[in-house]
């Protein structure tokens, strides 16, 4: 109830009480319509719906889709994709715009739903009991807390995460640590499938040729020689909207890389999509040695191009290090972030990554990087977190879905749609969770 009261109070303070209440009523009516559509739909046992928070062909869902395609399995695959993000979508996949009538029709008639985040943020819906949801999440061995009390970016996201947790049948994780993190947040009773994260398969030997192809293409597009090396900086966003924390000394970092590792280096700048204006305002992309890769379609492919990674609190570095390449932390607001913003799952000092709180320390950490010491700490870190990545996660997920499909063929009796009583229980559970 506290969230509801705070919400009403904010409407009054903003002077938009009537307008916002009208919007809430409209959304309530729309949700009833979506509920009716879901309950009157019938799932296609051969249809899989893919959903990513990026609205792109990316992350874990992409690599699961690619495994179906690699095996030539005849399934109907549908993706929620924004109109301007359809580059790279295979021709044998269908696409729908999120929030459209077609989106809900495809979603409610899909037997299997594969997501990497919350299924909705503002436009709520419920799925039927006969639909199967796989949650693959978008962070590995994550630094940041994301529980109900930790997320400060808006109550809509938390509400959607709670609902997503109730609708999820399986969580695909890459470690005992991630399994426990999900249990402690929005999936307390969901079975955990410790298969590895499908997106990280590209970091292993089975994707060696694919990695070479990705880098060759990137070098050609950028007009760079084959021996060019790359350092990538990809920070996370701040709920507080503090942009001063991104003032990394690009030229200083590049000079340090040349001195410590040799060769010619370029700086890959990968801001969170919500921070693109920061990049433009700070004029960093006009540096001749900087390549803006904020809009690069596949973050995992981008990681295979980079020789060194730098972040603050983004868990992509925990994927990147699976290649056993150097990773660094540049976190000028470490104490503030841990204590007053999102908070951290574990002390950054327990990671293998050298930590810098200012540019002088960042340059010094590169100049004095000890590879042997780093690799020892890296292996100990992965072992401590129970990480099981081995490059075969996509195969395991597809095998599981095929197993469910086969069982579905043998068992003709499907669970019926949610009854009105189920709906009441769902609403009560949501209120209690708040």
Token pair 């729309």 is found at 30
Count of all residues that appear for the chain in the document: 434
Specify the CATH number of the domain 2-200+391-433. Answer: 3.40.50.11820
State the Cα–Cα distance between residues 14 and 75, nearest whole angstrom: 49
- Residue ranges, CATH 3.40.50.12580, the chain: 208-384
Q: How far is CA 23 from the centre of its chain?
A: 29
What is the Cα–Cα distance from 298 to 94, expressed in whole angstroms?
19
**Strand pairing class (327-330; 355-356):** parallel
List pLDDT tens digits, range 258-309.
999 999 999 999 987 666 566 555 555 668 999 999 888 899 999 999 999 9
Pair 308, 328: CB distance under 8 Å: yes
Residue with tokens 């990671």: 351
Q: Which of 56, 96, 60, 58 is nearest to 76 (CA)?
A: 96
Helix, strand, or coil here: 359?
Answer: helix
Whether the per-residue pLDDT at 424 is higher than 80: the answer is no
Q: Both tokens of residue 422? A: 């189920």
* Residue pLDDT, tens place only, 311-360: 999 999 999 999 999 999 999 999 888 876 778 889 999 999 999 999 99
The CA angle 253-347-185, to the nearest 5 degrees, is: 115
C-alpha to C-alpha distances, 324 to 140, 309, 352, nearest whole angstrom: 16, 11, 11
Strands of the 44-51 sheet, one edge to the other:
93-96, 76-80, 44-51, 110-115, 132-135, 170-173, 192-194
User: For the segment 371-398, what is each residue's pLDDT rounded down to a tens digit?
Assistant: 999 999 999 999 999 999 999 999 999 9
d(CA 239, CA 425): 33
* CA 366-370-374 angle, 5° bins: 105
**pLDDT tens across 31-75, in order?**
788 888 888 899 999 999 999 998 999 999 999 999 999 999 999
In the predicted structure, residue 431 carries a pLDDT above the cut 90: no
> Is 249 in contact with 339 (CB distance < 8 Å)?
no
Residue range(s) of every CATH 3.40.50.11820 domain in the chain: 2-200+391-433
Q: Is 283 left (phi over 0), alpha (psi -120 to 50) or beta?
A: left
User: What is the reported pLDDT for 142?
Assistant: 85
Nearest to 143 by CA among 327, 418, 369, 390: 327
SS3 content of the chain, % helix, strand, coil (to 5): 50, 15, 35
Q: Beta-carbon neighbour count of residue 289 at 10 Å?
A: 12
Question: Distance between CA 412 and CA 399 in Å, rounded?
Answer: 21
Residue 137: partners with Cβ closer than 8 Å, 6 or more residues away:
60, 116, 117, 171, 172, 173, 178, 182, 197
Question: What is residue 353's three-state secondary structure?
Answer: coil
- The residue assigned the tokens 């990705």 is 214
pTM of the model: 0.86
User: How far apart (Å, rounded) are the C-alpha atoms in residues 411 and 418?
Assistant: 19
Strands across the sheet containing 327-330:
290-292, 265-269, 229-233, 308-311, 327-330, 355-356
Q: Which CATH class is domain 208-384?
A: alpha beta
Among 1-10, 120-129, 313-322, the minimum mean pLDDT is found in 1-10
- Quickly state the pLDDT bin for 414 (edges 50, 70, 90): very low
In this structure, the strands spanning 308-311 and 229-233 are parallel
Average pLDDT taken over every residue of the chain: 87
What is the distance between the alpha carbons of residues 103 and 145, in angstroms, rounded to a whole number? 31
């Amino acid at each position: 109830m506290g969230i509801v009261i705070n919400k009403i109070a904010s409407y009054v303070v903003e002077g938009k009480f009537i307008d916002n209440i009208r919007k809430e009523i409209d959304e309530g009516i729309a949700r009833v319509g979506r509920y009716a559509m879901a309950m009157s739909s019938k799932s296609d046992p051969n249809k899989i719906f893919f959903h990513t928070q990026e609205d792109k062909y990316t992350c874990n869902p992409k690599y699961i889709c690619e495994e179906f395609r690699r095996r030539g399995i005849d399934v109907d695959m549908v993706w929620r994709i924004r109109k301007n993000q359809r580059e790279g979508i295979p021709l044998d996949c269908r696409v729908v715009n999120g929030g459209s009538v077609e989106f809900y029709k495809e979603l409610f008639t899909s037997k299997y739903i594969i997501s990497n985040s919350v299924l909705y943020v503002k436009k709520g819906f419920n799925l039927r009991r006969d639909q199967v949801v796989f949650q693959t999440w978008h962070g590995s061995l994550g630094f940041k807390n994301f529980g109900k009390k930790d997320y400060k970016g808006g109550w809509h996201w938390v509400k959607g995460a709670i609902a997503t947790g109730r609708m999820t049948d399986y969580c695909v994780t890459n470690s005992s640590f991630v399994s426990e993190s999900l249990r402690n947040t929005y999936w307390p009773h969901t079975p955990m499938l410790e298969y590895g994260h499908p997106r990280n398969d590209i970091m292993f030997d089975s994707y060696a040729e694919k990695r070479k192809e990705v880098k060759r293409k990137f070098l050609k597009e950028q007009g760079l020689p084959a021996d060019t090396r790359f350092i990538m900086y990809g920070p996370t966003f701040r709920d507080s909207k503090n942009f001063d924390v991104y003032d990394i000394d690009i030229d200083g970092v590049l000079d340090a890389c040349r001195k410590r590792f040799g060769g010619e280096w370029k700086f890959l700048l990968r801001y969170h999509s919500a921070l693109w204006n920061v990049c433009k305002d700070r004029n960093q992309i006009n540096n001749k040695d900087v390549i803006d890769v904020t809009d690069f379609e596949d973050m995992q492919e981008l990681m295979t191009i980079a020789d060194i990674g730098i972040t603050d609190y983004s868990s992509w570095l925990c994927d990147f290090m699976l290649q056993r390449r150097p990773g660094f932390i540049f976190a000028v607001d470490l104490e503030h972030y841990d204590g007053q913003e999102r908070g951290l799952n574990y002390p950054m000092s327990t990671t293998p990554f050298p930590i810098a709180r200012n540019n002088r320390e960042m340059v010094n950490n590169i100049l004095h990087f000890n590879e042997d010491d780093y690799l020892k700490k890296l292996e100990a870190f992965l072992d401590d977190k129970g990480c099981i990545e081995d490059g075969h996660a996509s195969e395991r997920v597809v095998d599981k879905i095929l197993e469910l499909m086969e069982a579905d063929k043998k068992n003709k009796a499907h669970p019926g749609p949610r009854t009105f009583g189920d709906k009441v229980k769902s609403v009560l559970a949501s209120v209690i969770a708040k």
